[in-house]
C-alpha cells in the first residue's frame, strides 16, 4: 500500500460550530477542503495508531464520496480499526451508541442534521469523542487552530471500500469493518423500553404513524417499529433515505412535517404521530389533534420516567438548554432532583451525564435524550412516549392536559427569522446587548422587566465558561423573551426569538398558543426592533 503526500493550503472558514462544520455541498467539494478539515481533526487527536474510529452519516448528497476519502486518510493516519455503517449510514445517536459499545476512540459523523440536502444543499462533519458525545469547545477550537496551519496531508492509495456489503477487509495495518448501522442501536432501545407492552398496545388497535422525512431514521424505524414492535408496514411515511431527502426539508416541525401534522389533526387520524430529522437526533411528538411542544415533551417524559424499565429507579436530574421552557424545572422540583440550565448545544450536557448529575436532557429545538448515549435521540423519545402510552392507556391529549393540571402550563413558542442578512442580524443583537443595562425596571403594559442579560454559563464539572449564549429578558411574573442567533444554518443568519409565559389557572390552559403570547410577541419586537432591523413582518417558521 502506498501513502501519497499532497500539498495544500489552509482555508480560513473551518471553525466548527456547536454541531461541527456545516457548509454548502459546493464548499466541501472544493479541492482539499474536506481533506484539510479531516487532517486537522486527526492532528488534534495526536497518536491514533491502533485506535478505533467510527464513521457514518445521514445519507445526504456527498456522504459516500466523503466516507471513501476519510477511510483512506484514516488508513494513512494509522488507525487500527474502522467501523463504518453499511451504505455509509449511521444516525447521529447510533454513532454515539457504537462508539460507547465498542469502546472506540471516537467517530466522525457526516451530517448537516435538519438542513436540506442534495447538490445545492448542505453538508457537514463533526467529531465525537470517546464518551460518544460531540467534541467540547477546547477540542473544536484546537481543530480550528490546526486547520489554519496545514501545508500537506497524507492519503492512502487504496481501492474504494464496498460500503454495501457487510464484512471485514484490510488496508495496510488498518482493519475496516462494514457494520449493520441499526443492530447495536435497536438492541439498546430494546434494553431500555418495554417492547412487550408497546407491542401489546399496538396489537390492541393503537395506531402509530412515523415520518422519517426520507432521512436516516427510516431503516431504524422499520427495524424497531415494524420488525420488533409488530406495527403495520404502513405506519411508516417517507422511510427510504434519499440524498436530497426527497426534495424536502428534514426538520420535524409543524411546517416541514405538514403531511404528518395534517393526518394527525383529522377526525379519523392515528392515535400517535412522530417524526425525526436528517440525522435522527431530533423528534416531533403529535397526538390526535394535539401537538406536544419539545419543552413539554421533556417535562412529561421526566414526570413519567418510571414507566420505562430502563428508568424505573427514577432519574438523577434534568438538564435543559437556556432557551427551553421552564416546564422541566417544575417537574424536577417535585421529584426532588436538580435541573441544570446550559447553553444551547448538546455537548454542554456531556459533562453532566458523565458526572452522573443528570439522566434526562432536552432542548426546545426538538431534541431530547438521556444518558444512554451522548447525543439527543429522536427515536428514543418516540419510544419513550410509546412506552408511557402503553402503560398509562390514555391518549396523548389526556396525558398532556393532565400534566398541565398538575404542574401548570408553560405557554411557549419559537419564532424563526431565517436567512437574515448577517450584518442586519448582528446589528440587532449588538443593539440589544448595548441596551441591557437600561432595560431592567422598564414596564411594557402589565409586564415589568426584572432581569436582562447575556447568558453566561460555568460548567459545574470542569469549570469551563461560555459567554454570550443568548440575550434574556425576564419579567416579574417569570415570563421570558430570549433572543439568539443560530449557528446551524449555512446561509445568512437565523434569528430565533423564544417566548414563554406560565399559566397556573386550569381554566385558561386551552388558549391558542400564539394568542396567549400575543402581548409578549409585540413586546419582543418593541424591545429588539425586529421589523426595523430585518425588514420582516413575520417569522418564517413558528413552532
Domain boundaries 185-407, corresponding CATH code: 3.40.120.10
pLDDT tier for residue 345 given thresholds of 50, 70 and 90? confident
Residue 468 pLDDT:
92
pLDDT tier for residue 19 given thresholds of 50, 70 and 90? confident
Strand partners, 243: none
Phi, psi (degrees; rounded to nearest 5) at 131: -80, -5
- Residue closest to 183 by CA, chosen among 103, 116, 101: 101
Q: Is 113 a catalytic residue?
A: yes
Domains 2-181 and 185-407 share a fold: yes
Return d(Cα 161, Cα 178) in angstroms, integer.
9
Give buried/exposed letters for 178-207 (b at 16+ CB in 10 A, else e): bbebbebbbebbbebbbbebbbebbeeebb
Please state which architecture CATH assigns to domain 2-181.
3-Layer(aba) Sandwich (3.40)
CA distances from 472 to 286, 321, 325, 528, 543 (A): 29, 13, 12, 12, 19
Supply the pTM of this predicted model: 0.95
- Residue closest to 113 by CA, chosen among 66, 33, 58: 58
Residue 239 pLDDT:
97
- Residue closest to 98 by CA, chosen among 70, 64, 128: 128
Residue 191 pLDDT:
98
Q: For the chain, which residues make up each domain, given as ranges?
A: 2-181, 185-407, 409-542
Quick count: other Cβ atoms within 10 Å of Cβ 348?
27
Residue 489 pLDDT:
53
Instruction: Give per-residue pLDDT as tens, 191-215.
Output: 999 999 999 999 999 999 999 999 9
Quick count: other Cβ atoms within 10 Å of Cβ 355?
13
Phi, psi (degrees; rounded to nearest 5) at 454: -105, 110
Based on the number of CB atoms within 10 Å of its own CB, is 324 exposed (0-12), middle (13-18) or buried (19 or more)? buried
Return d(Cα 250, Cα 113) in angstroms, integer.
8
Options 1.10.1740.10, 3.30.310.50, 3.40.50.10470, 3.20.20.450; CATH for 409-542 is 3.30.310.50
Residue 74 pLDDT:
98
Instruction: Give per-residue pLDDT as tens, 362-389.
Output: 999 899 999 999 999 999 999 999 999 9
Give the total residue count for the chain: 543
Instruction: Give per-residue pLDDT as tens, 397-414.
Output: 999 999 999 999 999 999
Strand partners, 179: 85
Q: Decide if 385 contacts 368 (C-beta within 8 A).
A: no
167 conformational bin, left if phi > 0, alpha if psi -120 to 50, beta if neither: left
Return d(Cα 509, Cα 489) in angstroms, integer.
34
- Residue closest to 366 by CA, chosen among 450, 426, 291: 291
Q: Which residue has the cell 460555568?
A: 458
pLDDT tier for residue 2 given thresholds of 50, 70 and 90? very high
Q: What does pLDDT average to over the chain?
A: 96
**Is 154 in a helix, a strand, or coil?**
strand
pLDDT tier for residue 416 given thresholds of 50, 70 and 90? very high
Based on its alpha-carbon atoms, the radius of gyration of the chain, rounded to whole angstroms, reads 23
> What is the average pLDDT across 262-286?
97
Write the CB contacts of 248 (distance below 8 Å, at least 6 apart in sequence): 116, 213, 214, 238, 256
- Residue closest to 406 by CA, chosen among 282, 302, 294: 302
**Is 97 in a helix, a strand, or coil?**
helix
Write the CB contacts of 433 (distance below 8 Å, at least 6 apart in sequence): 454, 468, 471
- Given 113, 295, 297, 452, the catalytic residue: 113
Residue 346 pLDDT:
87
Pairing of strands 174-179, 81-89: parallel
* DSSP-derived secondary structure for 432-499: HHHHHHHHTT-EETTEEEEEEEE--EE-TTT--EE----EEEEETTS-EEEEEEESS-SSSEEEEEEE
Q: Decide if 497 contacts 539 (C-beta within 8 A).
A: yes
**Is 194 in a helix, a strand, or coil?**
coil
Residue 327 pLDDT:
98
Amino acid at each position: 500500500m502506498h501513502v501519497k503526500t499532497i500539498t495544500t493550503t489552509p482555508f480560513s472558514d473551518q471553525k466548527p460550530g456547536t454541531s461541527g462544520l456545516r457548509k454548502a455541498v459546493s464548499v466541501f467539494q472544493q479541492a482539499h477542503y474536506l481533506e484539510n478539515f479531516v487532517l486537522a481533526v486527526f492532528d488534534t487527536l495526536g497518536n491514533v495508531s491502533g485506535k478505533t474510529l467510527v464513521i457514518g452519516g445521514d445519507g445526504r448528497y456527498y456522504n459516500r464520496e466523503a466516507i471513501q476519502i476519510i477511510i483512506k486518510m484514516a488508513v494513512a493516519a494509522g488507525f487500527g480499526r474502522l467501523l463504518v455503517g453499511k451504505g455509509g449510514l449511521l444516525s447521529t445517536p447510533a454513532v454515539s451508541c457504537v462508539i460507547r459499545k465498542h469502546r472506540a476512540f471516537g467517530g466522525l459523523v457526516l451530517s448537516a442534521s435538519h438542513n436540506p440536502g442534495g447538490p445545492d444543499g448542505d453538508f457537514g462533519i463533526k467529531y465525537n469523542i470517546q464518551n460518544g458525545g460531540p467534541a467540547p469547545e477546547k477540542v473544536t477550537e484546537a481543530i480550528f487552530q490546526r486547520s489554519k496551519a496545514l501545508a500537506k496531508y497524507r492519503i492512502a492509495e487504496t481501492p474504494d471500500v464496498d460500503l454495501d456489503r457487510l464484512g471485514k477487509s484490510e488496508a495496510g495495518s488498518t482493519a475496516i469493518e462494514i457494520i449493520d448501522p441499526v443492530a447495536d442501536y435497536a438492541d439498546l432501545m430494546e434494553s431500555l423500553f418495554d417492547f412487550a407492552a408497546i407491542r401489546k398496545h399496538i396489537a390492541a388497535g393503537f395506531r402509530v404513524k412515523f415520518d422519517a422525512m426520507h432521512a436516516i431514521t427510516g431503516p431504524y424505524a422499520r427495524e424497531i417499529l415494524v420488525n420488533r414492535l409488530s406495527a403495520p408496514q404502513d405506519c411508516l411515511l417517507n422511510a427510504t433515505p434519499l440524498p436530497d431527502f426527497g426534495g424536502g426539508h428534514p426538520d420535524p416541525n409543524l411546517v416541514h412535517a405538514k403531511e404528518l401534522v395534517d393526518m394527525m389533526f383529522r377526525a379519523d387520524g392515528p392515535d400517535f404521530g412522530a417524526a425525526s430529522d436528517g440525522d435522527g437526533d431530533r423528534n416531533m411528538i403529535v397526538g390526535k389533534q394535539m401537538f406536544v411542544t419539545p419543552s413539554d415533551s421533556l417535562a412529561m417524559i421526566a414526570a413519567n420516567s418510571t414507566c420505562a424499565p430502563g428508568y424505573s429507579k427514577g432519574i438523577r436530574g434534568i438538564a435543559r438548554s437556556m432557551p427551553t421552557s421552564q416546564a422541566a424545572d417544575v417537574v424536577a422540583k417535585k421529584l426532588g432532583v436538580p435541573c441544570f440550565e446550559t447553553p444551547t448545544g448538546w455537548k454542554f450536557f456531556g459533562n453532566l451525564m458523565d458526572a452522573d448529575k443528570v439522566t434526562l436532557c432536552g432542548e426546545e429545538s426538538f431534541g431530547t435524550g438521556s444518558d444512554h448515549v451522548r447525543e439527543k435521540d429522536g427515536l428514543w423519545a418516540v419510544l419513550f412516549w410509546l412506552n408511557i402510552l402503553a402503560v398509562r392507556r390514555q391518549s396523548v391529549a389526556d396525558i398532556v392536559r393532565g400534566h398541565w393540571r398538575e404542574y401548570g402550563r408553560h405557554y411557549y413558542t419559537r419564532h424563526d427569522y431565517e436567512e437574515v442578512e448577517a450584518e442586519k442580524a448582528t446589528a440587532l443583537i449588538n443593539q440589544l446587548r448595548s441596551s441591557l443595562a437600561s432595560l431592567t425596571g422598564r414596564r411594557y403594559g402589565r409586564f415589568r422587566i426584572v432581569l436582562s442579560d447575556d447568558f453566561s454559563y460555568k460548567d459545574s464539572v470542569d469549570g469551563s465558561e461560555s459567554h454570550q449564549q443568548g440575550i434574556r429578558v425576564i419579567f416579574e411574573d417569570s415570563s421570558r423573551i430570549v433572543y439568539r442567533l443560530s449557528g446551524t444554518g449555512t446561509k445568512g443568519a437565523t434569528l430565533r426569538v423564544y417566548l414563554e409565559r406560565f399559566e397556573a389557572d386550569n381554566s385558561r390552559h386551552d388558549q391558542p398558543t400564539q394568542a396567549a403570547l400575543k402581548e409578549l410577541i409585540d413586546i419582543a419586537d418593541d424591545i429588539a426592533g425586529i421589523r426595523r432591523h430585518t425588514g420582516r413582518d413575520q417569522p418564517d417558521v413558528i413552532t
